[in-house]
Amino acid sequence: MEKISYAVLTFLLNALWQIVLIYLIASFFARLMRSAPARYVHCLWVLALVVSLVIPLWSLSGFGGDASADAASSVNTEAIDGTPAFIPDVWMKATTGMQLPRLMGEQSNSIPYAPQLTLALMSCYGLLMFRRLCALRQGWKATVAMRRDAFRRDLSPLMRATIERCRAAFGVRNFTVLCSTQATSPFTVGFRRPIIVLPESLFDETSGDVRISALGHEIAHLQRRDFLLNFIYTLLCVPVSFHPLVSLIKRRISETRELACDEAVVHTARRHRVFLCPRARSQRIDIRYLL
C-alpha cells in the first residue's frame, strides 16, 4: 500500500507541472503553425495529449527494486504536533523522470503528509477515475441508443446521386447512410461497419452544395477513422482528467479535427471540380461525439 501511495503521489506531482509545460509548448508551436494545414496542427495537439500521459508515467519507472527500499528508508515516523506523520522524499522521486533536481542545484525537499491525507487523496483520485469511466460508459450507451433510433429511408434521386458522387470523390464505399428524427446534426458511428446518420431535414435539402458539404464532412471523418481515434483519446484523458489543461488539449483536438475535415472536403471538391458555394463552405457541420 505504501508503494502505491508513493507512485500515486509521484504521478500527481509530475502531472501538475509537466502538463502545464506541455500545454505552453504546444500552444507556442500551434501559433507558429497558424498558416499550416489543420491536420498538422491536429497532430500537434494529439502529441501533446499523449506526452501529457507518458511523461508522468515515465517518472514511475524508478519505483521498483532499490527504489522501494530507498522510499522505505526515507520515511520519518516522528510526531508532528502529536500526530504521526510520514516524511518521504517524494519531491526528489517525483522529479526523477525530468531530472529537475539537477536544474535546481541538486536540492532535495521533503513533503510531510499524514497517512489519512494520503488515503483521502487516493480516494478522491480513484473516485474521479470511476466517474470518468462511468461518463464514458454513459456516452457509449447514448451513442448506441441513437444508432438504434436511426432507420433506413428511401433516398430521393438527388440524395442518391450525392451519395454516389461523394463515394467516388473520397474513395470510401464501405458505409451506410441512415436517417434520424432526433439528430440535429450529422454524426458517424462505428469503425468496422461505419454508419453516417443524417438529420431528417437534410434528406429534404434542395441545395446540392449543402448536401455535398455535409456528407463529405462525415466521409472525411471515416477516412481519418475519427470515431475510433476519439475513443482512444478519451481513454488517454482518463488518468490525467483531474488537470484542467487536459480538457483544453482535448478541445483543441476536437477543433482541429473538424477543421481538418473541412479542409479535406474543400480539397476534394476542387480536385473533382465540385465547386461549393460560400454558404456551404462556411457552414460548420460538426460530427457529434457522445463519448
How many angstroms separate the CA atoms of 87 and 165, rounded? 68
Q: What is the pLDDT of residue 285?
A: 36
For residues 35 and 258, the answer to whether their CB atoms sit within 8 Å is: no
pLDDT in tens, 96-132: 444 444 433 444 444 455 567 777 778 888 898 899 8
**In one letter, which amino acid is 97?**
G
- Site of grid cell 471540380: 273
User: Does residue 191 carry a pLDDT above 90?
Assistant: no
Instruction: Write out the DSSP string of 171-240.
Output: T----EEEEESS-SS-EEE-SSS-EEEEEHHHHT---HHHHHHHHHHHHHHHHHTHHHHHHHHHHHHSTT
Task: Find how far residue 190's CA is from the centre of its chain.
Answer: 17
160: left (phi over 0), alpha (psi -120 to 50) or beta: alpha
Cell of 111: 513533503
Comparing 284 with 169, the larger pLDDT belongs to 169
pLDDT band per the 50, 70, 90 thresholds, residue 25: very high
- Site of grid cell 461525439: 289
User: Exposure string (b/e) for 19-30, b if CB count within 10 Å is 16 or more?
Assistant: beebbeebbeeb
pLDDT in tens, 242-257: 999 999 999 999 999 9
How many angstroms separate the CA atoms of 181 and 25, rounded? 44
How many angstroms separate the CA atoms of 44 and 260, rounded? 13
Compute the average pLDDT of residues 51-67.
75
DSSP assignment letter at 288: P
User: Does residue 74 carry a pLDDT above 80?
Assistant: no
